[in-house]
Amino acid sequence: MLGDGVAFSVMGRVGESYPVRFALALGHGDVVSGLVAMVPMLAGR
């Protein structure tokens, strides 16, 4: 059961942080990266 919780936490952090970093690496600004960060919240995660 502990492994499932750890895997879920890792999945959540990777899914929330890397799209923002990717948007910034593509040269998008703060506004676009903020909108990308909001997508999981808007999707109900």
Give the residue among 38, 42, 45, 43 at the shortest CA–CA distance from 19. 38
Q: Which domain holds residue 26?
A: 2-42
- CB count within 10 Å of CB 34 equals 12
Is residue 45's pLDDT more than 70? Answer: no
Is the CA virtual torsion 11, 40, 37, 39 positive or negative?
positive
Task: Report the residue count for the chain.
Answer: 45
The reported pTM is 0.60
37 in Cβ contact with 21 (< 8 Å): no
pLDDT digits (tens, 9 = 90+) for 5-36: 898 888 877 777 788 888 999 999 999 999 98
Q: How far apart are CA 12 and CA 33, in angstroms?
A: 17
Amino acid identity, position 36: V
Domain count, the chain: 1
